[in-house]
Amino acid sequence: MKKNIVGLIFVVCFLACSAYAASDAFKNNVYNPGEMKPVDSMLKVKVGDRAPDFTLPAVSGKNVSLRDFHGKKM
């Protein structure tokens, strides 16, 4: 009985949230970066070239570099 009630509450909350998200409340709240120009449109790496090293932030918050995976099989 409790599982049915919890499930029903979940469905009602889900539907209410979906209806709210689809409403006009969010129409103008999306970030608009404006006109963006490409930073560099020249291709610098050719097929067969070694990939340049780069570092990006990971989901964990640490930085991950391409060199961290050099020689490792995925």
| Predicted pLDDT of residue 50 | 87
Find, among 21, 39, 18, the residue nearest to 30 by Cα.
21
Q: Alpha-carbon distance 15 to 22, whole Å? A: 11
Structure confidence by residue, pLDDT tens digits, 5-34: 766 676 666 666 665 555 565 566 667 767
Q: Which residues pair with 57 in a beta bridge?
A: 63
* 53 and 65 Cβ atoms separated by less than 8 Å: yes
Does the predicted TM-score (pTM) go above 0.75?
no
Q: What is the DSSP letter of 49?
A: S
